[in-house]
Structure formats: C-alpha cells, structure tokens
Amino acid sequence: MTATNRIDGRRGFTLIELLVVMALIAGLAAMAMIVAPGAMNKDRAATAVSQIQSALQISRARAIRDGLPRGVRFLWNGSNNVTEYQYIESPPLFVPNPGAPIGVPPYTPTTPPYVQFNYTPATGPVTNRTCTINALDPAHQLQVFAGGTMYLPTLGTWHRFLTASAPSASMTVTLDSYPDQQLGAETQWRTYHFGLNGGPRALLGEPTLQLPQATCVDLSLSSPGGGGGQDYDILFAPSGLLVNTSSTQGVGQVFLWVRDPAKPANLQQGGEQLIVSIKAKSGGIGAAPVDWGPDPFILAKRSLSGQ
C-alpha cells in the first residue's frame, strides 16, 4: 500500500462531533467565569483575615515580651475602606516619682506628685467623680494630654485621658474609664504610685504593610466604628489584654469588617465578607463570616465565647 492510500484511509472528525466539543468547551468556560471570581474573592478575603490576625497576634506577643503596649494601626486613606496598616507602640512608661512618697529629684519628700480621685456620694450609678494629677514638675506636666494613658500599679488598671486641663500644679483629667469597682465605697483616694504613657506611635523602622488586592477593613461597618479622618488603633497591654484607645473606646469586644471595597456591603452582591474579632478581657483573637441577620457579629461573638 502506498503512502497516499494510507493517508486517504484515516478517519477524521465529523462536523457534528466538532460542534459538540466546541459547545462543551464553551460551557465549561462559562462555568469557570461564574465560579472563578467568587472563589478568588473568597480566597482573597480569607488571606486578608489571616494577615490581620497574624499582625494582631505578633503585636500581642511583642507587648508581653517587651513589657510595653504594642499594637496595630489601620491607616486612614481618605475613605473608611482602609487597605494599609503598621505596627505601633506606646512610648516607655514615664514614672514621675518611682520612689514615692520618698522624694526623687526633682521632687522632695514633702512635695511628691500624686493622683487623686474624688467621688460625690450618690444613689445609683456613680456619675460625680473627678481625677486630678498634682504636684508635677512643669516639664512633666507636658506628659499629661488627651490621648495619653495613665497606669495605676496599686489597682492594676490602665486609663486613657479623654481631656486634660492646661499644664499646672493641679491638672484635672477626664478618663475613658474610672476604677469604680476597685475603689468600692471610697469617696476619696490618693496614690503616689503612677505612670504616664504618651499616645501610640509607629514603631521605628517598621514599614507600612498592604492588605491583599481587592480587600479592605471597612471602618464604618466595624465595631466600634471608626474613620472620619482618624487612624484606627488596636493596642495590647503587657498583660495581653486590650488597652483602651480612641478607636476601641473601652468596649469588651472589637470587630473588624473585612470585604471587597469595590462591591456593595450586602449579602447578594458583596462577595465574601468576614469579621476579625478581639476580646478585650483576654486578648483572644478570632474570625467568622458576617451574619446577615439582626446582629452581623453574632458568629464572631461565638468564636470568642470560649476565650
């Protein structure tokens, strides 16, 4: 048999077979176009959540290791949908008079600085209370300002200054929380043992970090909500617990809403949306999907229930 006869004897594809194969390929391509974006979106959201959880856990571990507050700052970028963050710290604790009430320069034994709480007796919840910081050196008075924090080792509590009067020998401050439970029925309490921290600042040499493409932390949907031109700070104490900041506002739990900023924040069109959760009293960190019922954070709360 010649080469020509062998070629002529080969069987080819019919037109119908080719059309069937093309139809199958087109169908599979259409399915991939429908399924792939959703799968990619879910993968990006999960990656962003994992990245945020890792940053928070690193900050908590640093706070415990260094004995100083450490945390994460989500950077305001002109909208509530933040895409960058950086590691932060509180400056080292400044103790005005570490040997109190014995005088340590520039203080004398007769003029040691002190913190004093005054309570006006009242029935029901306590509302009439004041806190003053007294006898500080003029240079040290500058350490008392809105956004700074105060540590009371006798009580084991941290307090953030919401407001502070002008520098003087007796400065009145308002706090984000008061040690009502620790002081019990006391109407006046004074301590010579206290420390002052400045407001959180970026860790020296730490770069700004980027969340995965097409993901963000939506500060307007997070709880407590944030944004409005302000960075969002989450800070851990050396005990591993959350320190109150202007962002977390002393709440028991913090929920960060992670989503695709290009999509609507709803169930039907919003794609994969997840919540990163932090429990203030334990420093526990969890994650869960958004629940589209009355409480979108219910699943995130359950993820922290054992912590």
Q: How far apart are CA 35 and CA 40, in angstroms?
A: 9
Q: How far apart are CA 201 and CA 73, in angstroms?
A: 9
pTM across the whole model: 0.68
Q: How far apart are CA 245 and CA 66, in angstroms?
A: 19
- CA neighbor of 265 nearest in space, from 220, 227, 204: 220
Helix (H) or strand (E) holding 40: helix 15-66
Say how many C-beta atoms besides its own lie within 10 A of residue 160's C-beta. 24
Looking at residue 6, its pLDDT comes to 52
> Would you state the structure tokens that stand for residue 280, as one six-digit string?
């203030």
Q: Determine contact, residues 132/172, Cβ cutoff 8 Å.
A: yes
Q: How far apart are CA 76 and CA 80, in angstroms?
A: 7
Q: How far apart are CA 307 and CA 300, in angstroms?
A: 12
Q: Determine contact, residues 59/236, Cβ cutoff 8 Å.
A: yes
CA dist list (Å): 80 to 34, 52, 137, 257, 259: 29, 17, 41, 11, 12
- CA neighbor of 49 nearest in space, from 256, 221, 236, 307: 256
Q: How far apart are CA 279 and CA 303, in angstroms?
A: 10
CA dist list (Å): 209 to 74, 86, 131, 179, 189: 10, 6, 39, 37, 45
Looking at residue 13, its pLDDT comes to 67
Residues 6+ apart with CB under 8 A from 275: 255, 256, 257, 258, 287, 288, 289, 290, 296, 297, 299, 300
CATH superfamily of 30-89+209-303: minor pseudopilin epsh domain (3.55.40.10)
Q: What is the pLDDT along the chain (307 residues), one digit of tens a residue?
A: 454 555 555 566 677 777 777 777 777 776 656 654 554 555 789 999 999 999 999 999 999 999 888 999 999 999 999 999 999 998 888 888 776 667 777 888 888 899 999 998 765 566 688 999 999 999 889 888 887 889 898 898 888 888 999 999 999 999 988 998 898 888 899 999 899 887 788 988 889 999 999 999 999 999 999 988 889 999 998 889 998 787 887 788 999 999 999 998 888 788 889 999 999 989 999 999 999 999 999 999 998 876 6
Beta bridge partners of 175: 161
Does the CA dihedral 210-212-215-219 come out positive or negative?
A: negative
Q: How far apart are CA 19 and CA 194, in angstroms?
A: 82
Residues 6+ apart with CB under 8 A from 107: 96, 97, 113, 135, 137
Could you tell me the residue ranges of all domains in the chain?
30-89+209-303, 114-197
